Structures are given as C-alpha cells and as structure tokens.
Amino acid sequence: MEQQELVVRRYLPSDRDAVWDLHVTALEAVGARAMDPEARGIDADFADIDGVYLQSGGEFLVGLRGDRIVAMGALKRLSSAVAEITRMRVHPGFWRRGFAEDVLRHLESVAGSRGYTELWLDTLPIQKAAQQLYLKHGFREYGRVQVRGYQASEAILFRKG
C-alpha cells in the first residue's frame, strides 16, 4: 500500500470541531485529559484560534490525509523575536509516520519568515515521543515548571535559537 503524504495548510474556521476532537483524542492517548475551552482554562485558546494565533503574528496549521485532519500545530507570538510552538498533536492512528515532524518543519519555516529568532515550547513528561522529536530538531531542555491542567504537575520547557 502506498504511503499517502500529509498535506499541511492553514487552519480554517470550519476546522474547529475536527481540531478540538484531535486535541482530545491525542491527549487521551497519552493519559491526559483536555479541559473545556469555554471555561477560560488551559484550553481556552481553542475558543478563539483566529484571535490567539492567526491575528496575532502566529499561525495555526492542520495536516490532512485526504479530507481528514490528522495532525496540527500552532505558532504563538510572544514578542517580536520569540514565538511559542504549541498545540502539536497527531491522531494516535497516524503516529510514527513523520506527521508531527512535517508540521514542526512548517511551523519553523513560518517562524523564520516572520523574523522570530527564538522558539519556545513545552511538553509533558508522559509525552516521550514529543520530547525526542524536539531534541532531534535542535531544541534543548532548559527547565521544568509546575503546571495545573491535563492532570499533570510538571511541564518540560524547551527552546531553540
């Protein structure tokens, strides 16, 4: 069977439900749980993807196989020089196919074209594959912080640049 490539494009408002479903599914697969985006908690950005990412110097990308969204990732502006890579998710049925790497490469390209010289991100200790992906792409761990949400108590901080 021929491997179908991932098509990466910018988020559209019509993607909202599929993006949320992907977020929930991917978190549950690693033992975490999403929070209600309307509750102004850790997932509140999903209620306003346009405002949080697209209209603020960032980006939100989705990866498709056919017409199905199976991957996503976002770039959030923190300052004129620094952006955060966030919301990296791949549907568990499509893990280990390089899709997260495809989305990450696109986000890094966008960041470079917009003049960001440093990228930050964080991940949970239970997300081992994500940690390996970021290290492979030149990110370095620089700390750990206590967090609330996703039933985790700690996040690992990475940066590049």
- Is residue 156 a part of any domain in this protein? no
pTM of the model: 0.91
11: containing domain: 7-121
- Is residue 142 a part of any domain in this protein? no
Low-confidence residues in the chain, pLDDT < 50: 1-2
Q: Read off φ and ψ for residue 100, nearest 5 degrees.
A: -65, -40
Q: How far is CA 62 from CA 11, 18, 106, 116, 154, in A?
A: 6, 10, 10, 21, 27
Q: What is the CATH number of the domain that holds 28?
A: 3.40.630.30
- Is residue 153 a part of any domain in this protein? no
pLDDT of residue 2: 46
- Is residue 41 a part of any domain in this protein? yes
- Is residue 97 a part of any domain in this protein? yes
Task: Of 148, 69, 83, 71, give the one whose Cα is nearest residue 121.
Answer: 83
**Number of domains into which the chain is organized:** 1
- Is residue 36 a part of any domain in this protein? yes
- Is residue 130 a part of any domain in this protein? no
- Is residue 151 a part of any domain in this protein? no
Ramachandran class of 150: left when φ > 0, alpha when ψ lies in -120 to 50, beta otherwise: left
